[in-house]
Amino acid sequence: MVNYEAQLDATFTALSHQARRCILARLGQGEATVGELAKPLEMSLPAVTKHLKVLEKARLISRSKDAQWRPCRLEEAPLNAASGWIEAQRLLWESRLDRLETYLNRLEEEGSHDK
Amino acid sequence: MVNYEAQLDATFTALSHQARRCILARLGQGEATVGELAKPLEMSLPAVTKHLKVLEKARLISRSKDAQWRPCRLEEAPLNAASGWIEAQRLLWESRLDRLETYLNRLEEEGSHDK
């Protein structure tokens, strides 16, 4: 459970910067090198490398150890866990609203019987 | 567009701490005061207030100005935008995998015709 929460901390931290979200969106189209990732961001290679380290630490990307250019690739699992957490909140919230609606309808019905 | 990205930055930052996720999960069940939110977290009121300020700044919660105890309530829209961003990435990623599969199937089919 601690690991699950620590992973969510790391995933949401990684997602909290526009440049890192751009990198993830680009990697969703396929592997890319640091140079390819830097181009549309108009950033220096060291700046991109810094963001890649955050993404790698959060396990949102992995980097090939063999290839000379060490291309980056997206890892889907932590993103799915993060979206799963938000989705679970939504389901709880909606079921609460449904219960509230049922309760209000019942009150209204009882009120009309009393008249 | 800048506002959209800045809102995503703030939402994901707010979600990146377990205590703030606990607060949001609790508020999904209904409004609560700072005292009620502090109890299960075993945190001091000032510590909880600090987290509430992050959540309020990110517009994930709002606080009643009139009531004496200023209860907090969940605001759904930024959470939906954050989950929408992740979902959009997943759709792009999956459509890429589908295209790749179609391409590989075609290659295989052409290969079997050549034999």
Chain mean pLDDT for chain A: 91
Sort out which chain B residues have CB atoms less than 8 A from A8's CB and list them. Answer: 15-16, 18, 21
Sort out which chain A residues have CB atoms less than 8 A from B73's CB and list them. Answer: none
Is the confidence at residue A100, as pLDDT, over 90?
no
Nearest CA to A13 among B15, B71, B110, B38? Answer: B15
Sort out which chain A residues have CB atoms less than 8 A from B90's CB and list them. Answer: 76, 79-80, 83
Q: How many C-beta atoms lie closer than 10 Å to residue A69's C-beta?
A: 13
- Distance from the Cα of B65 to chain A's closest Cα (Å) equals 23
Tokens of B2: 């800048």
Q: Mark out the alpha helices in chain B (DSSP H runs).
A: 2-15, 18-27, 34-41, 45-57, 77-114
CB contact under 8 A, A93 and B28: yes
A37 or A100: which carries more pLDDT confidence? A37
Q: How far is CA A98 from CA A2, B29, B49, in A?
A: 32, 12, 30
Q: How far is CA B102 from CA A58, A73, B51, B105, in A?
A: 32, 21, 48, 5
pLDDT digits (tens, 9 = 90+) for B40-95: 998 999 999 999 999 999 999 999 887 778 899 999 999 999 999 999 998 888 88
pTM of the complete model? 0.86
CB contact under 8 A, B15 and A18: no
Nearest CA to A45 among A69, A25, A80? Answer: A69
- For helices A45-57 and A18-27, the axis angle rounded to 10 degrees is 80
Instruction: Band the pLDDT of A45: cuts 50, 70, 90.
Output: very high
Is the confidence at residue B113, as pLDDT, over 90?
no
Is the confidence at residue B25, as pLDDT, over 70?
yes
Closest Cα in chain A to B15: A12
CB contact under 8 A, A13 and B9: no
Closest Cα in chain A to B76: A90
The torsion angles phi and psi of B61, rounded to 5 degrees, stand at: -135, 160
Q: Do A59 and A24 meet the contact criterion of CB atoms below 8 Å apart?
A: no
Alpha-carbon distance B9 to B109, whole Å?
46
Instruction: Band the pLDDT of A115: cuts 50, 70, 90.
Output: low
Q: Mark out the alpha helices in B16-76 (DSSP H runs).
A: 18-27, 34-41, 45-57
The torsion angles phi and psi of A63, rounded to 5 degrees, stand at: -125, 135
Q: Do A89 and B11 meet the contact criterion of CB atoms below 8 Å apart?
A: no
The partner residue sitting opposite A28, judged by closest CB among B76, B80, B93, is B93
CB contact under 8 A, B93 and A13: no
A63 strand-pairing partners:
A72
| pLDDT at residue A1 in the model | 58
Residues of A with CB under 8 A from a CB of B: 5, 8-10, 12-13, 15-18, 21, 24-25, 28-30, 74, 76, 79-80, 82-83, 85-87, 89-90, 92-93, 96
